[in-house]
Every structure is written in C-alpha cells, then in structure tokens.
Structure 1
Amino acid sequence: MHIDDDPGDLLGSSGQGPGVGEDPSRWPTGRLVSAVARRAERELDARLVGHGLSHATMPILATLLPWPRSQRQIAALIGITEQTLSRHIVALERQGHVRRSTDATDGRRRLVELTEHGRATMTDVVPRLREATAGERALDAGETAALRTLLLKMVSATERDDQD
C-alpha cells in the first residue's frame, strides 16, 4: 500500500484493521485455526505449569521416552530448529527432567535422556494431556471425528509444502 492510498480498502467491517473487532464468523479460516490452537496451547500449558513444562517442551520429553537421542534427532522428530531445541533442553536440564551425556560410540555426539524425575513427570502428566480441551468438549463425537479428518488433511498438505 502506498502512503497516498485510501486506508479504507484495508479496513474490516468494524472500521479497524482486517478482523479486528469482527465476529469470528467473518475471520479467514487460517485465523480461526490459529485462534483455536492458541487457546488449546494455553489450556495445555495450565495443566503442565506445575511441572515446569509447556506445550513446547512436552514433545521433547515424549521423544525421549523410548531411549536417549541426539539433539539433531529430537529437532528433526518434532520439527523445530536445533537452536530452539537447545534453549528448551537447557531449561529441562535445569529442572531435572533430562540430562546430557557424551555418546559412548561417538565421543563428538551428545545424547539427551530422561532422568527418573523426567520419566515420573511424564507418567503423571500424559493422562492429563489426553483430557479434552474446552474447544473439544464443545463438539459431539461426529464433529470431533470430522474435525480430526480435516485437520489431518491440512497437516498432510502443509507437510508436502514444507518438503517442496
């Protein structure tokens, strides 16, 4: 947009920026998906906060349940950068959930593994994560199944886009 252009072309029905102050039924689908995801993340975080965990750190611990892994393996499995993972690992290590050690077969490689505290924490929190979120409780079984089918289709499409 050029400085001399009419800003009214960008304003939503509320007279503000697109989507601001508008009924969610007018939001683009991507914004709806994002809003629901953020609300679900906040609800999950509330369930995990007492354990020093969040929706972002749980997948890290989940990858370590079967065996220790390198940071590169963990990052690839959960789809985050090694730099982001490293920050999370430092915090998880400080809280006693994980420990890092040198790989006995390759002294250049560091492995991350669950501690007993981390494993006990997973045993405690995993059932809580299986409980439905407020958004899920608003749906009946058929709606939940249909939503899951559509979300899986969207995830599959975005995975293909990521590989291109």
Structure 2
Amino acid sequence: MSDSTGSTDRQVSVATIQRELTSFARRARATAARMHPELSLVSYTLLAHLEDRGGCRATDLAAYYLLDKSTVSRQVAALERAGHVERRTDPDDHRMQLLHLTEQGEQVLAQAADRRSQAFHTRLADWEPAELARFAAYLTRYNEAAARNP
C-alpha cells in the first residue's frame, strides 16, 4: 500500500468516525430526553459527576467540563430548584460551598442510570464478548486521548 492510499484510507476512516460520533451525540441528547425527561443530558452528566466525586464546587464542574461558570451556575440553580442538589459548607474551608446530591437527586439519577443501562444492553445484545471488549477499549483510548488534548 502506498503512502497516499494509506493517507486516503486514514482520512476516510477519520471522517467516518467524526460523522458517527456526531450522530451518537445527537442520538444521546434525543434519547436522554425520552429516558429521563426530568433531566437534560447536561443535568444527568452533572449529577453523575457529583455522585462520582462525592460532591464538588461549581467551579470544579466548570473546569472539568470546560464550561463557562455562568452556564454551570444556571444548571446548578435548576438542579437545586428541582431538589436534586444542595449546597453544603466545605469542612476544610468554611468560605466555600460544595454541591452534593440530595436523596431525591440520588434516586432520580439511579432511575435514569438504570434506564440508560437497559438501553445499552438492548442495543449491544447481539455483540460478541470480544467485540464488546474491543469497543470498550477503543472508547476508553479515545476518551483518554480527548482528555489529554481537548
């Protein structure tokens, strides 16, 4: 295979990956609205992050997701109004407020996560274990590279 053919194959593959990831993202937003109408995809993501971290500051959310602080502030305010998130004083620095899931937030997140898990199991039901393992490894590798090079 010549370099130009390899280069063309690579370009076609990268274009296909870009198109398919874009399609995946659009479908994820649409599916999220159906699976857990009480949570937007952003809200679900923020709640999941708070659960994973055991709470954090709003500025930590903004930095992690590369979002403007005002965007995170609006999302957090909506989650607070819905009763999913509460602010607690940081025990290490009483000037700071940490965001934590409420019991209601934990329940709505668990329900949404269960529905998402069921949907993934359904979509991947006819995949062989080796295919799933490769796909999981490729997604992990891609996301690790994306985290290093946003």
Judge conservation of contact 1:99–1:113 (CA < 8 Å) in 2: yes
Match of 2:136 among 148, 151, 158: 148
Partner SS, residue 108 of structure 1: strand
Distance in 2, matches of 1:135 and 1:87, equals 34
Deviates more, 1:90-99 or 1:40-49: 40-49
Deviation at 1:35, TM superposition (A): 0.7
- Aligned residue runs from structure 1 range 1-164, under 5 A: 28-49=16-37, 52-65=38-51, 67-133=54-120, 136-137=123-124, 140-141=127-128, 142-162=130-150
Distance in 1, matches of 2:28 and 2:120, equals 6
Deviation at 1:42, TM superposition (A): 1.6
Partner SS, residue 45 of structure 1: helix
Alignment size in residue pairs: 135
Q: How large is the RMSD of aligned CA atoms in angstroms? A: 2.9
Distance in 2, matches of 1:98 and 1:43, equals 23
Distance in 1, matches of 2:149 and 2:109, equals 33
Distance in 2, matches of 1:134 and 1:45, equals 19
Partner SS, residue 86 of structure 2: strand
TM-score by length of 2: 0.71
Distance 1:150 1:77, change over 3 A: same
**Equivalent residue letter for 2:131:** E
Judge conservation of contact 1:99–1:114 (CA < 8 Å) in 2: yes
Distance 1:126 1:135, change over 3 A: closer
Structure 1 moving runs of 4+ over 6 Å? none
Distance 1:33 1:67, change over 3 A: closer
**Equivalent residue letter for 2:42:** A
Deviates more, 1:62-71 or 1:93-102: 62-71
State the identity %: 30
Higher relative helix content: 2
Deviation at 1:117, TM superposition (A): 1.4
Partner SS, residue 100 of structure 2: strand
Deviations 1:111-155 (A, max 9, x none): 212122112222322211212349933751343333222222222
TM-score by length of 1: 0.66
Identify unmatched segments of 5+ residues in structure 2: 1-12
Partner SS, residue 58 of structure 1: helix
**Equivalent residue letter for 1:155:** N
